[in-house]
Structure 1
Amino acid sequence: MDFLAAYDAVPETDAPRRIGLLRRATATDRAGLFRELRAARPVFPTPLGVFVTRHPDVLEVLSAPETFTAGVFGPVLEEVLGAPFILARDGADVHWRERGYGQLVLAPEDAPRVRALTASLADAALDAAVAGAAERGSATFDLIQDYACLAAARVAVEYLGFTGIPEETLHTDSRLMQWAFAANQGRDPDVHAAGTAAGKEMHDLVAALIARRRAESGRPDGTDGTGRTDGPDDVLGRMLRTRLPDEFGFDDERINANLVGYLTGYQQNATQCAATALKELALRPEVLAEAERAAADPDPARFDAYVWEALRFHPFVPATPRLCVREHVLAAGTPRQTRIPAGTPVVAWMYSAMFDEDVIEAPAEFRTGRPPSHNLVLGYGAHECVGKYAASVIVPELVRRVLLRPGVRPPAGAEQAMDYAGTPYPQHYAVAAGPDSGER
């Protein structure tokens, strides 16, 4: 690839053409583009912001929230959500206080229970998808629409606590919200309006849900008066029962904003990961065979490693924007040392960092067992995924349940046939409905 020669041939004053080249390259040959940038211009000023592509430099950006803030997308996220949220903030007032709160209610010890819940709900969704294909006389079903988005939404209902809210609403609203704040670089007003409308709808549904949960308990704190609760043991239930000092202002509106924020960071990403991880495994038949054997292992961690390595090749968040709010010398003392002025947008490319040849051994090879710091799929630093403990079991279990079904795989030759349907996210991915699902 000779991207830089083509890019440099475009006058610096012609930002739209340069942006077009960048977007085409990231869409058609992302691996080649970032291999070239890491080698020649690892800190690359563009009209979209300074692209940071090397592993240590990406970690430097993500480790300094007081310098590289969420100010690029934070205000848009809060317009969509209608309230402050940890992903949009960097200071103690919202981010650090509510990150601690999030780790309390999204507890690490939930992982075994959440894995078992995911397995049960995923199996039921797969049963229905396979049966539906048989009823239609079809050899395939849609892994995303018939399985992944439904299973993920049902986990959101049972674990997060979105009781009574339709699965389709959870999935569609979260997609529109995430699209508006995370994938609307051109600030299309229609996309933004759809996202804010979805945020308003989800806020109102959750407000009614909170009121209903409190009324059912008969007490404002959601308990039966002894500290116990007769309601579901879910994240919302914990939030309703948790008492914080009044000066923190953690009322039902804050509970609402956090719960909807958790959904927005979870639903679309879990759905996409189930499909893209399966795709990456299917593209490597020998690796797929290994993963199938690992799926039957009593120790799920052995299988999980295949999913996270697969997602290194297709992460759901390949890059994250930051705003440099005070002058900073990036990669100080190295040949790529770069002064970044205050007010400069910066794009930390986690995808590129995970393929940095100077840090990642044989990055183009599929290898399980890499050091955790070499996999940035769940983020890094202050804005690492607050739900990472649940995500670390939900995502691989969604894939594992598929691999435990003989023959439920992408048809040969169609492993790459993932349809985005005009959105930033995969919407359709056909898989065979079982070993006997030939043409009917």
Structure 2
Amino acid sequence: MAVMDFLAAYDAIPEDDAPQRVALLRRSMVAGRAALFAELRAHRPVFSTPVGVFVTRHPDVLEVLSAPETFTVGVFGPTLEDVLGAPFVLARDGADVHWRERGYGQLMLAPEDAPRVRELTARIADTVLDEAIGGGADTFDLVQDYARLAAARVALAYLGLTGIEEERLHSCTRRMQWAFAVNPDRDPEIHAAGVDAGRELHDLVAELVDRRRSGGPAAGPDDVLGRMLRTRLPAEYDFDDERVTANLVGYLTSYQQNATQCTVTALKELAVRPEALVEAERAAAEGPARCDAYVWEALRFHPFVPITPRLCLRDRVVAAGTPRQTVIPAKSVVLACFASAMFDEEVLDAPAEFRPGRPPAHNLVLGYGAHECLGRYAARVIVPELVRRVLLRPGVRPLPGAERALDYAGTPFPQHYAVRSGRVAVPTA
């Protein structure tokens, strides 16, 4: 659509014809999300629709996400807890669960783990790549044969849940995340499948927790589960092994599909920019520091969470004192658009250009505010290292002419992405 095409078409639909307006909005999101967001930022940056109020400017998105007492996770929180079968930090705001368990999670998923998690990721990724390449075919599926397996093995080893099959983890988390995060029409079958998957994953994790506990607090390797079992909290927190299990299930559910998707979409965004791909390959050979910047810039163009919803509890003025100042009424669903904020021309310099090394505040891929990714310290090394290990294999690249051919196979998540299986020795860097 050209400038103003969407808004002109939207406004031409009678205000009381919500289904047509929603249908046009959804078609535009699929056909040209970047153009739609650019139009909204320029002409209607706080945009009220039947499905919610779209907030598209960078400072306004940060304002919404900085006020959890007003803009809560009540849109998806209850559904997430249905799926998990227990309270979880991502599904709550306030002191009762959120801040207490966020503090706990930060101790368990500690920042100082990052170096060893990167080493673990590199080792596992190389093994999985060898397995994929060793199949003997000219191509392999980057999603099914590499990203989902490597992501799962890293998480299970780091968390201390080795013994759960990668396929079961991936299948469960796909159904769970589909139910709570990408089921806008609240399809009851999708919801039920997510709840069933949540029970399945809970039981698998609970069995491993019981097994480790029976060996004593110090039993087993030094992983996140071991750390949890050795930690003693005051009795009033009521943090028993069921809470340990619930948190581990929540961590897996928040991680597996996202890490898999990010690995594949980052490579895709590099592949469609040949110059950036060559530069990223050079950076990968030099080491992680420079390469990471290329991966996060690639993900700015394809974030795994383009929009995050919030429930407005009370009337609130957004962007006060600016020409776009807007009152958001209580009980509104507010859609904070990460994918738009990261291209705000008033904040980012030349946002359409691929520029590694932008200021961290300009990259919202891991979220912002009270619900910024709890596992961000691990994620910041796992995701770029999974991509880097592919970049270190010069023969493993998307098929020429098919760099954009990411197949979702009727799901909300990438399912297939064909790459060449070049047989090249692995650098030792």
TM-score by length of structure 1 reads 0.95
Counterparts of 1:303-382 in structure 2, within 5 Å, are 303-382=291-370
Q: Distance in 1 between matches of 2:144 and 2:95?
A: 39
1:278 to 267, 284, 308: 267
> How far off its partner does 1:216 sit?
2.3
Aligned residue in 1 for 2:58: 55
Shift of 1:42: 0.2
Aligned partner of 1:393 among 350, 362, 381? 381
Could you list the runs of 5+ residues in structure 1 that have no partner in the other structure?
Answer: 223-228
State the match for 1:17 in structure 2: 20
Q: Please list the CA deviations of residues 301-337 of structure 1 after superposition, one character each: whole Å capped at 9, or x if unmatched.
A: 2110000000000000001000000111000000000
Distance (Å, rounded) in 2 between the aligned partners of 1:210 and 1:368: 41
Aligned residues: 421
For 1:7, the aligned partner's letter is Y
- The two structures, once aligned, show a CA RMSD in angstroms of 0.9
Are residues 1:244 and 2:233 paired? yes
Q: Which moved more, 1:5-14 or 1:114-123?
A: 5-14
Partner of 1:171: 170
The CA distance in 2 between the partners of 1:310 and 1:201, in whole Å, is 34
3-state DSSP class of the match of 1:190?
helix
The aligned amino acid for 1:147 is Y
Distance 1:49 1:347 in 2: 6
- Out of 224, 232, 236, the position equivalent to 1:235 is 224
* Cα displacement string for residues 221-275 of structure 1 (whole angstroms, at most 9, x for unaligned residues): x2xxxxxx23021111111111111111111111111100000111100000000
Residue 427 of structure 2: aligned partner: none
When residues 403 and 85 of structure 1 are mapped into structure 2, their CA distance, relative to the original with a 3 A threshold, is same
In the aligned structure 2, how far is the partner of 1:154 from the partner of 1:384?
A: 24
Greater than 3 Å deviation, 4+ residue runs = none
Distance 1:358 1:82 in 2: 43
Measure how far apart 1:435 and its partner are.
6.2
2:221 is aligned with 1:259? no
Q: Contact conserved, 2:219 with 2:226, CA < 8 A, in 1?
A: no
The one-letter amino acid of 1:249's match is D
The alignment partner of 1:164 has SS state of: coil
CA contact (8 A) 2:220 2:226 kept: yes
**Letter of the 2:59 counterpart:** P
Measure how far apart 1:26 and its partner are. 0.9
3-state SS, counterpart of residue 171 of structure 1 = helix
Q: Show the 5 A alignment for 1:33-182.
A: 33-132=36-135, 134=136, 138-182=137-181
Shift of 1:160: 1.1
| Structure 2 counterpart of 1:410, one-letter code | P
> Aligned equivalents of 2:328 and 2:156: distance in 1?
44
The structure 1 residue matched to 2:7, chosen from 4, 9, 12, is 4
The yes-or-no answer on 1:31 pairing with 2:34 is: yes
Q: More deviation in 427-436 or 205-214?
A: 427-436
Secondary structure at the aligned position of 2:311 is classed as: strand
- Aligned-partner Cα distance in 2 for 1:284–1:78: 40
Secondary structure class of the residue paired with 1:210: helix
Q: Tell me, in whole angstroms, the C-alpha distance in 1 between the residues paired with 2:162 and 2:335.
A: 37
Q: Structure 1 counterpart of 2:194, which letter?
A: G
* Distance of 1:40 and 1:280 partners within structure 2: 28
Gaps (5+ residues) in structure 2? 425-429
**Could you list the per-position Cα deviations for residues 170-222 of structure 1 after superposition, in whole angstroms to 9, with x for gaps in the alignment?**
111011101100000000111001000000011111111111111123xxxx2
* Residue 17 (structure 1) shift: 1.3
Contact 2:143 2:260 in 1 (8 A): yes
- Measure the CA separation in 1 of the matches of 2:196 and 2:76: 18
Displacement of 1:163 in angstroms is: 1.9
* SS of alignment partner, residue 419 of structure 1: coil
CA distance in 1, matches of 2:250, 2:423: 40
CA deviation profile, 1:378-408 (whole Å, cap 9, x unmatched): 0000000000000000000000000000110
SS at match of 1:205: helix
Aligned to 1:268: 257
In structure 2, the residue matched to 1:225 is none
CA–CA distance in structure 2, aligned partners of residues 183 and 106 of structure 1: 26
